[in-house]
Chains A and B, each alone.
Chain A
Amino acid sequence: MGETIARETVEELASRLGEPAWLVDCRLAARELYLQKPNPTERDEDWRQTDIGALDLTGMRILSLSSPVVTTEAPANLPVRIQTGLKHFNKLSGLLVQSTASGGHLVFDEDLAKKGVIFCDIFTAVKNHADKVRPALTPADGLAEEGKFTLLTRALFNCGLFLYIPKGVHIELPFFYGIELDSTEAVPAALLPYLVVVAEENSSASLVYTPGAKISITDGIRPSNLIAQYADLHIGANSKLRFLEVHDYSDNMFMIGTSNCHVSRDARYETLALAMGGRQVKSDLSTQLDAPGATSDVYGVVLGAGHEKYSFNTIQGHAAPDTTSNITFRVALTDHSSSVYQGIVRVDKIAQRTNAYQSNKNLLLDGNARADSIPKLEILADDVKCSHGATVGPVDREQIFYLRSRGLTEQQAEELVVLGFFRQVVEQFSLEAAQSWLSDLVAAKIHGEVSQADFFEDFDQ
């Protein structure tokens, strides 16, 4: 892996975007720290079995995306992958798409804008809402603790989102943010999205985020494209935020991401990450329960095939008493794919009466697939309820036989078992569109087409 990001690269990017000095300084400071940090290797605990050897940052093109065109309706020329995702939502509060092929588009409900809700790309936010976005972009406690790739994103972010929900505003319909990186040029390309979400006190909102690309590689050029993202989420007292992430990449792509959510008093964070493809997907999902009554529910579903590799680290941070965290992570792997899951439960000394639950189940559909699960407990308080469990095992052949005896082929039977395995997680997530979307993604991945089964289309009522 190459290391250098030239200072000029940062400066050019910032001047092209016409950024204010405070942000340029911030980018440069992040670059400095980035250069000081050693490259992660598989010997680093957080990077176990994570292979980014083929990623060449030196030669990588930091793409520039045109700023979004504001329209009243979703345009027809959106990337197919994003259209397929949008199909699962009848109505949205806002839609932002940033695509290397079809450009940027923004649709946003005006009534919400009048209430003070902000939904725009990150650069528009820097221009028009600096007071609100600046605290997130320039953290008070500095950048020294941040990971190498978070620093990379801070130095070079070239796309991103700002979502701001004012005090007392409750929004039922989700916001949708899609990113598409479909470059097939020989020189690898990178998108570095930076997402900032702020939900003030007594508010609620949902955000759907899908970065990815499903490029078809025809003549053997397989650029090692990269999406390196950082998501910074803040949930004010008594507020609720739902966050659905759908990662769907072709097998030339790397995704390295960190999301960090701070949850205040009596607030709730509910998130589901779906990962359905990519050469190496590496994601750190961290929730910090900062005040009493804070709760987080983190769900994850991974379906691996081919030689795909997944590394998910979750961090359940309890920094205050009477806080509750749940993590349920399920992974199904076929072919030679592999996954490593590391689940950290961190309970500070003051965080008495913590409830922490962690479960990771892995289903191996092929003898060559491999899954590892590593729980890590760092518990400093003494009055804590903490449970964790992990399983790794093959598909139950009796289930497959039962389904085949009803006429399903082996492949259909496996699809159904995998969907059932995932559904037990996804149906706990309260944004229902995730269920039908997941079944489409699974069907598309297992046999390259949309589900025949209409699996989640319930018809019984």
Chain B
Amino acid sequence: MATKAILEIRNLHVAVDGKEILKGVDLTVNAGEVHALMGRNGSGKSTLSYTLMGHPRYEVTEGEVFYHGQNLLELTTDERSRAGMYLAFQYPVAIPGVSVSNFLRTTVKGRRGGDLPVKEFRKELKQLMANLSIKDEFLSRYVNDGFSGGEKKKLEILQMALLKPELALLDETDSGLDIDALRTVAEGINTLKTADRAILLITHYQRMLDYVTPNFVHVMQGGRIVKSGDSDLARELEAHGYDQIAPELAGSAL
């Protein structure tokens, strides 16, 4: 049986405010796969995730991206979301005045369409919150407003669990989590790992990959994927650092 590509990125070049950040990214993610994307600070990982989600500041100057064989770049951000994509932000944005409960209900209703029975939704939500050990009082707080780093990441995963995306882009969702939270978040991610979905996991840490085993590991450097391998590559990186593993780029300027 042929594998089904959910995401195909070909020679992607992206500029921000006129400066080229991504310089020819190629990546294919098939259904059922987990890909880990690693790389030094500033190598372009978040730029890739924002671009895939259609952030208006990121300008695609060259290349193509297909989502389920469809030209992703013609879709607006909300169309991408409704088509099944999800980005867990590295730095989730606060929306003062908007309570978490109403925000979740509005987004889930928008995505699932039609009426969202309050009772069932509440039950589902409470269950997921319990799994992620998020306290009830968060529902009445403003979205990400005054949240700690880890609390923001948990809310990103809670939303992912509610929206059940086909392609989840997780940008350093593990950063800032305590040890217990990391495990619960990883469980949340593993629940999403089914044969018809895919996950792109941006991370700096092997610990996350101990919980969520990737099928592929990629190293990004200077706006390109410079090395790809299986889960052993992440372990080698952890042991030896980027200089050894990708020596051709050691010390290169951004």
Contact = CB atoms under 8 A, between A and B. Distances in A.
A407 B140 contact: no
Interface stretch (A188-196, A199-207, A421-429): A421-429
A402 interface: yes
Interface string B73-103: 0001110111000110100111111110111
A403 B82 CA distance: 12
A409 B95 CA distance: 16
A456 B140 CA distance: 11
B159 interface: yes
Given A417-B95, A422-B97, A423-B98, A405 B87 contact: yes
Contacts of B118: 459
B111 interface: yes
A402 B106 contact: no
B241 interface: no
Nearest to B55: A401
B28 interface: no
B18 to A, nearest CB: 18
Given A402-B89, A453-B102, A459-B122, A407 B139 contact: no
A60 B76 CA distance: 51
B223 to A, nearest CB: 21
B56 interface: yes
B106 A416 contact: yes
Contacts of B110: 406-408, 412
Contact of B140 (A412, A416, A460): A460
Given A401-B55, A407-B107, A458 B101 contact: yes
B97 A405 contact: no
A456 B92 CA distance: 23
B53 interface: yes
B10 interface: no
B157 to A, nearest CB: 13
Contacts of A459: 101, 105, 118, 121-122
Nearest to A455: B102
Interface in A420-455: 420-424, 452-455
A420 B95 contact: yes
Interface string B1-12: 000000000000
Interface centre among A406, A409, A456 (most CB of B within 10 A): A406
Contacts of B101: 458-460
A402 B95 contact: yes
A149 to B, nearest CB: 34
A404 B98 contact: no
A160 B9 CA distance: 68
A302 to B, nearest CB: 16
Interface centre among B56, B99, B102, B110 (most CB of A within 10 A): B102
How would you classify the secondary structure of chain B's contact residues: helix, strand, loop or mixed? helix
Q: How large is the interface on A (under 10, 10 to 19, 20 to 34, 35 or more residues)?
A: 20 to 34
Given A401-B77, A459-B105, A460-B136, A419 B98 contact: yes
Contacts of A424: 96-97
Nearest to B103: A416
A412 B139 CA distance: 20
Contacts of B86: 405
Given A401-B56, A420-B142, A408 B95 contact: no
A408 B105 contact: no
A406 B140 contact: no
A460 B126 CA distance: 9
B26 to A, nearest CB: 24
Nearest to B50: A401
A397 interface: yes
A146 interface: no
B82 A454 contact: no
B33 to A, nearest CB: 22
B97 A420 contact: yes
A73 interface: no
A421 B97 contact: yes
A351 B142 CA distance: 38
A408 B163 CA distance: 13
A408 B97 contact: no
Nearest to B84: A407
Contacts of A408: 78, 106-107, 110
B81 A407 contact: yes
A145 interface: no
B81 A406 contact: yes
A409 B78 contact: yes
B183 interface: no
Interface in B21-65: 53-56
B235 interface: no
A458 B159 contact: no
Nearest to A460: B139
A25 interface: no
Contact of B78 (A398, A407, A454, A458): A407
Contact of B111 (A401, A407, A460): A407
A417 B87 CA distance: 20
Interface of B: 53-56, 76-78, 80-82, 86-87, 89, 92-99, 101-103, 105-107, 109-111, 118, 121-122, 136, 139-140, 142, 159, 163
8 contacts: A399-B94, A402-B93, A404-B77, A405-B87, A420-B96, A453-B102, A454-B105, A459-B122
| 8 A-B pairs with least C-beta separation | A420-B97, A460-B139, A420-B98, A407-B81, A402-B93, A423-B97, A404-B77, A406-B107
Given A401-B53, A408-B110, 20 more contacts: A399-B93, A399-B94, A404-B77, A405-B53, A405-B81, A406-B110, A406-B159, A407-B78, A407-B82, A407-B111, A412-B110, A413-B78, A416-B95, A416-B103, A417-B98, A420-B97, A420-B98, A421-B97, A459-B118, A460-B122
